[in-house]
A and B are shown apart, each in its own frame.
Chain A
Amino acid sequence: MSTKSRVSRVSGTRPKSARPRRSHVPYLLLLPALLLELLIHLVPMAMGILMSFRGLTQFFIRDWSRAPWTGWANYELVLDVNRPVGEALLRSFLTTCLFTLLSVGLCWLLGTAAAVFMQESFRGRGLLRALFLVPYALPVYAAVITWAFMFQRDNGLVNHVLHDQLGLGGSGHTFWLLGDNSFWALLTVSVWKGWPFAFLIVTAALQNIPGELYEAAALDGAGIWQQISRITLPSVGAVNQVLVLVLFLWTFNDFNTPFVLFGKAAPEAADLISLHIYQSSFVTWNFGTGSAMSVLLLLFLLLATAGYLLVTTRGRRNGHG
């Protein structure tokens, strides 16, 4: 615990002995952050969980300690898929799952492809890289409200280009913000907004792959696809693990995009879960039910994340072994 002599031997060849020195100082330095973390994150979370067991409606928000305890009633209500509230939540959940799957997949694919292309140096590479990052750097509201205008049926750019310029799908304009098409509109905006992040992270990861590896592979006769699948992808595997996870969590929880695009009540086809929860609590002033839904969402995300980490980490370790 308190040996000083080991420090000097860190540079030795045996990695086993290269343990960092144990001391209380790092923990002391971390303590303020830890306390703040508790205060800012864990306490509100605990309150959220408490709220989910109460009948917290507009009658009690002024002093919510007076709200009656309702036990599992909120959970029974939102989990009963044979009644409208539970049914709507389930549908919203499934929509969100499909949406997340497609959005994360496309973001990752586009980001990785662009990053691999940008690896070669050519004229204007810096400019293109900067351009690619614009959607990520724009304020969400400004970007999404622009899309909302572009998707308008009568005066929107999207319909103008598709129907009037390209003549696709006849001359009748399509509704993008109403009905089933709203899913695709939402997906488009989400991918547009999300892929630069994937691009950025993969680009950074690619910097760490030594050029000699590619040269050696090329000498051995590996083609471009083999280089990508044998060198590039395995080298960025660890980064991808985190990247996909973070994209998943962000997309699954995305509130801003559907809210700005559709307002308080999204069409069924694009009713993402976070917006659904907002509607169930803030708009209808039933905070207990909303909290119960939030807790369920949190549980699902925890389980999904734990499962994902377990599977991917073991898979990679075996692969290396």
Chain B
Amino acid sequence: MRRTRAAAAAVTASLLAAATACGGGTANTGGGSDTAPKELTYWASNQGPDLAADQATLTPELKKFEERTGIKVKLEVVPWSDLLNRILAATASGQGPDVLNIGNTWSSSLQATGALLPWNAENFGAIGGKDRFVESAIGSSGATGQDPAAVPLYSMAYALYYNKKMFQEAGIAKPPATWDEMVTIGRQLSKDGKWALGAEGANLSNNIHQAFVLAKQHGADFFDAAGKPTFDSPGAVGAVKQYVDLMAKDKIIAPGNAEYAQNQSLQDFANGKTAMVLWQSAASSFKSHGMKEGDWGVAPVPVPAGGAPGPGGNTNSMVAGINLAVFKNTDNIDGSLKFVKFMTSDEEQKILNKTYGSIPPVKAAQSDPAFATDDLTVLRTTLGTSAAPLPQVPQESQFETAVGTAVKELFADAAAGRPVTTESVKAKLTKAQQQMAS
């Protein structure tokens, strides 16, 4: 008997440990208040090569803010892998930071939780007005027709980065401007263990960014006007197939890229294994992998034949970037607004975007000569003329997971030599759409 009892005790303990995983948060309905006016907690996202670099960049600026306002800012740099879960936990418990960075594609999803302070005219007034910001950046800070859930902090866009030396050796004069040229040049470059293009086949967000842009070029959207998913429309299927075909049919992406999810494609690019990558603001990463300024060139992402980057069917980037949000439960609403004003001031925008290699979403800060380099001019032009925001719907993050996984599985098929057909692409996307219905 005693044995059984001991066993039962051990089992109960293990079962309990297992079941606690499904526990939930508590209810909380606090609004903003001003009970702790001398202190702020700020969650920054990881923008530099590592967390320590962000600490080093932000700390002097936060000191400056403290000197001017007397408000001490407690900084925590949260890695991307944790950030969304941390925000969700903070939302559920009501215990969160005062000010935080969010990926701008999450804006609508987080807006739907009601955890973030809406940026109505009054709040915008406190930081100098909505007009100070670039329109496309404001366009990716919440659902249309609602007050934005955040304000733009850093803007980024996709560009085609190419290895100048590899292009020279292959006798290629200029980077591809259309997808047809991409395939032609790609076949020239893909030989002797080298490959033309890098991809992050197992990185769900990156898959989405590429599929979204290609879908625009095919005249399709992943959500209709009513916000209903339309993942398996002919245009979307064509877009996903075109992207995966770069590996499956055109064979200009190495099969091994199907399992990349930790930015290995940037490493391959820096090591001269691949000649091109489609990436957002990659300069600082290349440098940290040992490349020197001038080793790589930057060009706009290719568009369909016969076009030039522009709106609609010639969209060639998403509006990528980071937004700054205020947590509704903050106990220092006044200080939070002051802090947002500080971070979006012309001066800080120049300093921070320069360090991170991104584009300031504040119009006045863009005129600084530091943002007129070859790299940044391409990104700036793209943002201004041919970038579109990802769908601003509450289901955006589910969409990233469902469709991102579908593309990942298709890359796995392509890598293993299984055929990727219109039917197989459609089947995967239909499955992804059915998952959204739940």
Contacts and interface: CB of A to CB of B under 8 A. Distances in A.
Interface string B284-314: 0000000000000000000000000000000
A84 B231 CA distance: 15
A249 B113 contact: no
A246 interface: yes
A64 B405 contact: no
A309 B114 CA distance: 48
A274 interface: yes
Given A59-B113, A245-B10, A298-B18, A279 B431 contact: no
Contacts of B146: none
- Among B4, B21, B22, B254, chain A packs the most CB atoms within 10 A around the CB of B22
B20 interface: yes
B35 interface: no
Contact of B258 (A178, A250, A279): A178
A290 interface: yes
A50 B159 CA distance: 48
Contacts of A178: 202, 258-259, 412, 415-416
Nearest to B402: A284
A208 B434 CA distance: 57
Contact of B404 (A153, A265, A280, A286): A265
A62 B405 contact: no
Nearest to B408: A265
B16 to A, nearest CB: 4
Given A58-B394, A83-B434, A263-B261, A45 B28 contact: no
- Among B15, B19, B94, B434, chain A packs the most CB atoms within 10 A around the CB of B19
- Among B6, B17, B20, B110, chain A packs the most CB atoms within 10 A around the CB of B20
Interface residues of A, number: 67
A246 B15 contact: no
B7 A245 contact: yes
A178 B410 CA distance: 11
A40 B112 CA distance: 30
B3 A253 contact: no
Contact of A64 (B8, B24, B398): B24
A85 interface: yes
A113 interface: no
Contact of A290 (B4, B22, B85): B22
A280 B91 CA distance: 19
B100 interface: no
A178 B28 CA distance: 42
Contacts of B409: 267-268
Nearest to A293: B22
Interface in A128-163: 152-154
Interface in B80-116: 85, 88, 91-92, 94, 109-110, 112-115
A242 B5 CA distance: 11
Contacts of B29: 62-63
A65 B28 CA distance: 9
Given A59-B394, A279-B401, A241 B7 contact: yes
A285 interface: yes
A45 B4 contact: no
Interface string B322-363: 000000000000000000000000000000000000000000
A173 B256 CA distance: 9
A61 B401 contact: no
Interface string A241-262: 1100110011001010000000
Interface string B155-170: 0000000000000000
Given A61-B88, A246-B14, A295 B20 contact: no
A62 B438 contact: no
Contacts of A58: 109-110, 112-113, 394
Interface in B44-74: none
Contacts of A61: 25, 88, 91-92, 113
B11 interface: yes
Contacts of B10: 242, 245-246
B112 A309 contact: no
B259 A40 contact: no
Contact of B412 (A45, A249, A267, A287): A267
B435 A51 contact: no
A44 B24 contact: yes
Nearest to A154: B256
- Among A268, A284, A289, A297, chain B packs the most CB atoms within 10 A around the CB of A284
Given A178-B258, A265-B404, A265-B408, A85 B15 contact: no
Contact of B24 (A59, A62, A287): A287
A202 to B, nearest CB: 16
A41 interface: yes
A313 interface: yes
B23 A249 contact: no
A51 B92 CA distance: 13
A153 B257 CA distance: 9
A42 B28 CA distance: 21
Given A178-B258, A265-B204, A41 B22 contact: no
A287 B21 CA distance: 12
B366 interface: no
Given A286-B398, A313-B3, 10 more contacts: A44-B22, A44-B23, A45-B20, A59-B114, A177-B202, A249-B11, A274-B21, A284-B398, A285-B398, A305-B15
8 contacts: A44-B23, A52-B22, A61-B91, A62-B114, A241-B3, A280-B438, A286-B398, A309-B11
Interface of B: 3-4, 6-8, 10-11, 14-25, 27-29, 85, 88, 91-92, 94, 109-110, 112-115, 202, 204, 254-256, 258-259, 261, 394, 397-398, 401-402, 404-405, 408-409, 412, 415-416, 431, 434-435, 438
- What are the 8 closest A-B residue pairs judged by CB atoms, nearest first? A44-B23, A48-B22, A294-B22, A154-B256, A178-B412, A84-B434, A265-B405, A41-B16
